[in-house]
Structure 1
């Protein structure tokens, strides 16, 4: 049986892709398969727009009989996991750019989709994108939703989280708390998060967690919208668990998110979750919790109705906790392994 090789361009101990591949590797190895992670680094002096074609050459040269699985755009993959969606669609959210990397990405992306034996899409939303933009046959693409390490909800941990956030950030008692988690606020809807909150006519507190290079803009916007006393910019957090625990409503008005593990994480910690139809993970939510777009402020009526009814809010939070149990890393690995096994079987 061929060795399953998870290919990654560079190793980062904080990278979400690395954590996912390591967990997937471990889960598949538990099931008796021979696995490895292959990191291929490029010379630091090399310009970025050359590094990617060079990386493709490196990976394809050493492939031999390995079964290649990757989140990276490479032209010799057995399975490509399109966890980042399509770069072509992503560019539409950025506007005009002279970055020489973009045409290289697009060239690599086209080759990747066309050459991969099979493609895993993290949402129906991304699958439709791939079919529409690159004319890939739908039968070549399987939808496998992401999984997370499901954690049991513990009352003692909840109380400890409230104590921690109260002491460090001034968490208020008996006030509905909103949460936003994401680095790079523009694409993930940081501005729309603040503008939505500014239209709510009831008391609230909110936390924005994540790295943002233009943080001054968002702080100034909160001031301009007269909600600065209600919003805390908590910055990047290595472990945002305590924020999820103390939050009631996770509001994520993203412009483009192929999946969005933060949705699963918020559900795991009993949050009511609201996002946009441009977020892949929104497919697992009821339609009433989906904004048509990041500026769909009509959602405020729904938000305020839950703020007015604590029992209804509690029921929805509990429902999300129950529903997220099926989106475990174990289930993701099982579904992924089914696809790997079917491709290997076809080789015999």
Structure 2
């Protein structure tokens, strides 16, 4: 079995799993002594690249046998900026690693807890950075929805939620929105939700879209976000403030069979990105190194 070295900017669960293999090793960090004696700089066989490209990344990218990125957008940007062979860059989308439960049972319990009709439809938003992730756009979408039996769910840390509630204090939206601060079981909220909307301004892959699909939600995300690569055209927003989104959500909420079909298809799609499935894809790449 061939020994392979890897390097990365962010240590993910899938990288941890890779490092459990006997023939996979993290490239040793260059020491001060190495620099002092002008020891030859070594580079990993496989480099997992994320985020922007800095000077140190360029060397790693140029000298790696394979580069792993997490979206087509990132691959295109890398090939264009660094002018490297596109066959050297492989795409492995982020991995989903979560326990799935039947949404119907979770939703029933949730509705009983908050004294809501079990037939209530839920539209969900959560993110680490509310502003960049489109909290303002989400509120505008909710305000333009006409579906009657509806509740919006917004979850985030105390600072984000408090700031948003302060901004909305004059809009009297509390009767239509459930706010969750530092909620310790976000997976439960994904299971409760019918539709997850992330009108984000960021281009990076938003893993919450994948998580929502795994938990059987319909999703909406702008085309500028790399997560749009795994959703269908109907789920793609032209921009964070796409005026047609509220209309699409209303239409979907009013068509029970269509909503059910999209939820089921999204779960099937998301199951292709479990850690086990992504490890299988990585194994094929490792064999080519």
2:142 aligns with 197
CA contact under 8 A between 1:276 and 1:282: conserved in structure 2?
yes
- Paired residues of 2:222 and 2:228 also in contact (CA < 8 A): yes
The secondary structure found in structure 2 opposite 1:250 is: strand
5+ residue gaps, structure 2, are: 36-40
> Aligned with 2:273: secondary structure?
coil
Aligned-partner Cα distance in 1 for 2:32–2:223? 36
Task: Return the match for 1:109 from 51, 54, 57.
Answer: 57
Q: What secondary structure does 1:229 align onto?
A: coil
Mark the CA change 1:108 to 1:7 in structure 2 (over 3 Å): closer, same or farther: closer
Query: Which residue in 2 is equivalent to 1:76?
Result: 43
Deviation at 1:211, TM superposition (A): 2.9
Residue in structure 1 matching 2:195, options 249, 252, 267: 249
Q: Taking structure 2 as the reference length, what is the TM-score of the superposition?
A: 0.83
Match of 2:109 in 1: 163
The question of 1:19 aligning with 2:13 is answered: yes
Aligned partner of residue 120 in structure 1, secondary structure: strand
Shift of residue 141 of structure 1?
1.0
Aligned residue for 1:185? Answer: 130
Could you tell me how far apart the structure 2 residues matched to 1:172 and 1:108 are? 55
Specify whether residues 267 and 5 from structure 1 end up closer, same or farther in structure 2 by C-alpha distance, changes over 3 A only.
same
TM-score normalised to structure 1 length: 0.70
RMSD between aligned alpha carbons? 3.2
Q: How far is the alpha carbon of 1:160 from its aligned partner?
A: 4.1
Q: How far does residue 213 in structure 1 lie from its aligned partner after superposition?
A: 3.7
Listed one character per residue, the Cα deviations across residues 259-314 of structure 1 (whole Å, up to 9, x for unaligned) are: 22222221121111111112222212111210112111222211110111122211
Distance in 2 between residues matched to 1:153 and 1:223, nearest whole Å:
35
Q: 1:24 to 1:194 in 2, by over 3 A?
A: farther
SS at match of 1:325: helix
Which deviates further from its counterpart, 243-252 or 330-339? 330-339
Q: Secondary structure at the match of 2:196?
A: strand
Which one of the candidate residues 46, 68, 86 is aligned to 2:52? 86
Q: 1:181 Cα shift?
A: 2.6
SS at match of 2:248: helix
- CA distance, structure 2, for counterparts of residue 60 and residue 127 of structure 1: 35
User: Where does structure 1 differ by over 4 angstroms across 4 or more consecutive aligned residues?
Assistant: 1-9, 58-62, 150-153, 169-172
The equivalent of 1:278 in structure 2 is 224
Q: What is the count of residue pairs matched by the alignment?
A: 283
Structure 1 unaligned residues grouped into runs of 5+: 10-15, 41-55, 63-73, 88-105, 344-348
Describe the superposition over 1:13-57 as per-residue Cα deviations: whole angstroms up to 9, x where unpaired: xxx84434224445xx3xxx434568x9xxxxxxxxxxxxxxx64
2:261 to 315, 332, 335: 315
Q: Does 1:305 align with 2:251?
A: yes
Contact 2:106–2:191 (CA under 8 A) maintained in structure 1? no
